[in-house]
Structure 1
Amino acid sequence: MTGPDFRKAELMPCIAQDADSGDVLMLAYMNEESYEETLSTGRVCYYSRSRKRLWRKGEESGNVQQLISIHFDCDADAILVKVRQVGGAACHEGFKSCFFRQVDPASRDVSVIGERVFDPAKVYHK
């Protein structure tokens, strides 16, 4: 086996993890084309389900992900990329991680953890 088995699924979940801190940055999806581009360029490329096209992380914001290593699970149907996050934020809402909301299990209250690194309105001009 040389990599993920894209015959099992056209799209595979892909977790991006900060290679230095170990923080989980985001969950996105890869198809075979985005996987191959990531390996070829050293910059992480995903497949956008909403736009139905390749999504080169940071193409709008400048917050690119440099590939450090790439892993796949025991079933060859999920991917982990360890990255160096350039620009400080993986999340389109301006946070370092997309997982910036925390739920208290007892009260079910939701709190925001971390601080915004950038203002999305200024970066995405929306």
Structure 2
Amino acid sequence: MTTVTSLDPAIAARLSRDEAGLVAAVVQDDVSGDVLMLGWMDDEAVHRTLTTGRVTFWSRSRREYWRKGDSSGHTQHVRSVAIDCDGDALLVRVQQVGAACHTGERTCFLAGGRLPVVVGEAPVDGEGAA
């Protein structure tokens, strides 16, 4: 990873990075609202994403930057980027062209599948309120 000074200092100051200098980037389809994938960004990847109109990640396994779709043609075009209240995650809303997952599925969460879970229910209005 390369530390850059090109990321706006006001934005950089809001990021709460992990020990590797990364923040999680949740990618969501801007039209359907589907969560497509999770990637990781350092300051340079955030800068590239904010300034080029295409999503760039830091690959933890390959130890290099990758722009979604450069090899597959399945591109992500940035519509908006938001930072969460703690600064440790970004929500990147995109126009997705093709599959978001490297398996060929539209989202990485289809390929991974659902886990067994106990389904919770919110109390009906007025019930269970303390």
TM range (shorter): 0.7 to 0.9
Indicate which of 93, 102, 105 corresponds to 2:117. Answer: 105
TM-score (norm 1): 0.77
SS in structure 1 of the partner of residue 48 of structure 2: helix
- Say whether the 8 Å CA contact 1:12–1:78 is kept in structure 2: yes
Task: Give the aligned partner of residue 14 of structure 1.
Answer: 25
2:45 corresponds to which residue? 34
Q: CA RMSD in A?
A: 1.7
Stretches of 4+ aligned residues off by more than 6 angstroms: none
> 1:29, CA displacement in angstroms?
0.4
Q: State the Cα deviation string for residues 45-66 of structure 1 (Å, max 9, x = none).
A: 0110001111111111010100
Q: Which amino acid aligns with 2:11?
A: G
Instruction: Decide whether aligned partners of structure 1 residues 82 and 7 sit closer, same or farther in structure 2, where only a CA change above 3 A counts.
Output: closer
2:95 to 84, 109, 112: 84
Shift of 1:34: 0.5
Cα offset for 1:105?
Answer: 2.7
CA positional deviation for 1:7: 6.0
Normalized per residue, the structure richer in strand is 1
Give the aligned partner of residue 116 of structure 1: none
Q: Give unmatched runs, 5+ long, in structure 1.
A: 107-126
Q: How many residues align?
A: 105
Give aligned-pair identity as a percent: 46
Q: Taking structure 2 as the reference length, what is the TM-score of the superposition?
A: 0.75
Query: Which residue number corresponds to residue 54 of structure 1?
Result: 65
